């Protein structure tokens, strides 16, 4: 699909590198000896967002909300059930990645890469680092022989590892070092967009900070765009330009990072912000944490109306009957809540101030 007419007059650096529209992904539920389809799990439902060149959009939410599935649809690990993934190619052409087959996707797989969550299972234990990082260079006929070794050694240096490590195997590295190898593998083909799927969640706090700093340095150096998938808002705050909050496969709020942390408009976002760990041990467990009752809705059998209403402390009758549409409340601040303008929700700073006042008393 070509959308160049829509982008006439828009500066190149202001055009979205990625524009996701109405993305759906559902998986069949099969039962019985004949494996008949008896239903569907709606993992992603009508998701839409955009990412600018050199920008970072974070997808946050509880486990199972559809974050990883969204990322894998964008990287075309999965073919979406419906929707558009409009990618702005370097030739200034807009391509819908959702429509392409595997052969047509090949040139775009070089430009959209993934960093996986688990630094242990994402690296083949039987291959040395030279092959793990260099495989994509060989497959895409970018380098071979001594040139391949030089490229891999350069990539290792860039992510903070010594080049003589290229003949070692993954078991010789710590979790943080393995994640650096995963980052080097993602960088091998000079991508423009990286999908970082919980890239720091399996690491301890000190190593998390090192990896986040590395990702930010690489973004600045290579003008990379990130789709950063996470559940820890304290991590998201430091790396993101914009944040999208997901719940049961849908985006319920989207805004720039500062606005979302200071002025959340959806009750689910408020609850997530209240769960951000407090560095000061005196401020922990002081009674202001919002604890949601009940369980996350079943994506194969979601409730009527707003999916969040069974757990929402502000729910009213309308929430049980009518599904809220995503709408723009303030400039570039979208939310799916019937009563967003009426609720007075606490942002991260307000929650911290309440904690401080409680402590002083």
3 membership: H or E segment, kind and range: none
Q: What angle do CA 204, 219, 5 make, to 5 degrees?
A: 135
Helices (H), the chain: 67-74, 102-109, 129-139, 145-158, 175-187, 205-222, 233-239, 257-262, 267-274, 317-321, 348-360
Q: Delimit the domains of the chain by residue range.
A: 118-190, 250-360
Measured in degrees and rounded to the nearest 5, phi and psi for residue 57 equal -110, 130
Single pTM value for the model: 0.88
Question: How far, in Å, CA of 210 to CA of 66, rounded?
Answer: 27
pLDDT at 78: 95
Tokens of 197: 């799927």
Q: Which residue positions in the chain have pLDDT lower than 70?
A: 1-14, 91-92, 278-288, 349-361
Question: How far, in Å, CA of 110 to CA of 351, rounded?
Answer: 43
Tokens of 246: 């997901």
pLDDT at 9: 42
Question: How far, in Å, CA of 59 to CA of 68, rounded?
Answer: 9
Q: Of all residues in the chain, what percent carry a pLDDT higher than 70? A: 89
pLDDT at 45: 95
Q: What is the pLDDT of residues 95-144, one digit of tens each?
A: 999 999 999 999 999 999 999 988 889 999 999 999 999 999 998 888 88
- Are 202 and 174 a contacting pair, CB within 8 Å? no
The overall longest dimension of the chain from CA atoms, in Å, is 69
Strand order in the sheet with 242-247: 112-115, 193-197, 225-230, 56-60, 242-247, 250-256, 333-335, 327-330
28 membership: H or E segment, kind and range: strand 18-31
C-alpha dist (Å) from residue 49 to 25, 69, 178:
15, 15, 31
Tokens of 291: 């604890």
Q: Return all residues near 140 (Cβ < 8 A) that are at least 6 apart.
A: 110, 189
DSSP one-letter string for 297-348: PPTTSPPSS-TTTTT-TT--HHHHHSPPPPEEEETTEEE--TTTTT-----H
Question: How far, in Å, CA of 354 to CA of 210, rounded?
Answer: 31
Q: What is the pLDDT of residues 183-236, one digit of tens each?
A: 999 999 999 999 999 999 888 888 999 999 999 999 999 999 999 999 888 889
pLDDT at 357: 34
DSSP one-letter string for 108-132: HHTTEEEE-S-TTTTS-TTS-HHHH
Task: Report the mean per-residue pLDDT for the chain.
Answer: 88
Tokens of 251: 């985006």
pLDDT at 276: 81
Strand order in the sheet with 82-88: 36-51, 18-31, 82-88, 94-96
pLDDT at 182: 95
pLDDT at 267: 95
pLDDT at 12: 54
pLDDT at 251: 96
């Amino acid at each position: 699909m070509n959308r160049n007419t829509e982008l006439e007059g828009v500066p190149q650096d202001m055009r979205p590198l990625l524009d996701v529209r109405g993305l759906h992904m559902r998986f069949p539920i099969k039962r019985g000896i004949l494996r008949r389809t008896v239903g569907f799990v709606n993992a992603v439902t009508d998701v839409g967002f955009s990412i600018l060149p050199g920008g970072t959009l974070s997808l946050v939410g509880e486990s199972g909300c559809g974050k990883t599935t969204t990322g894998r649809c964008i990287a075309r690990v999965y073919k979406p059930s419906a929707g558009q993934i409009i990618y702005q190619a370097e030739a200034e052409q807009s391509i819908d990645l959702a429509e392409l087959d595997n052969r047509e996707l090949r040139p775009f797989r070089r430009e959209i890469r993934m960093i996986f969550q688990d630094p242990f299972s994402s690296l083949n234990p039987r291959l040395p680092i030279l092959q793990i990082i260099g495989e994509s260079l060989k497959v895409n006929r970018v380098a071979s022989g001594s040139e391949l070794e030089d490229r891999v050694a350069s990539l290792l240096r860039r992510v903070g590892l010594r080049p003589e490590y290229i003949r070692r195997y993954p078991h010789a590295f710590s979790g943080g070092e393995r994640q650096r190898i995963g980052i080097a593998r993602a960088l091998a083909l000079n991508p423009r967009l990286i999908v970082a799927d919980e890239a720091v969640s399996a690491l301890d706090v000190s190593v998390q900070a090192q990896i986040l700093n590395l990702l930010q340095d690489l973004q600045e150096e290579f003008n990379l765009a990130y789709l950063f998938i996470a559940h820890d808002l304290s991590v998201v705050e430091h790396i993101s330009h914009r944040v999208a909050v997901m719940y049961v496969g849908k985006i319920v709020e989207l805004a720039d990072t500062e606005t979302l942390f200071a002025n959340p408009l959806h009750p689910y976002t408020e609850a997530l912000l209240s769960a951000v760990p407090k560095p000061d041990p005196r401020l922990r467990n002081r009674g202001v944490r919002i604890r949601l009752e009940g369980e996350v809705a079943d994506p194969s059998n979601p409730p009527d109306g707003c999916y969040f209403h069974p757990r929402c402390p502000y729910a009213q009758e309308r929430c049980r009957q009518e599904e809220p549409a995503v709408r723009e409340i303030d400039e570039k601040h979208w939310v799916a809540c019937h009563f967003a303008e009426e609720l007075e929700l606490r942002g991260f700073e307000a929650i911290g101030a309440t904690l401080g006042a409680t402590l002083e008393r």
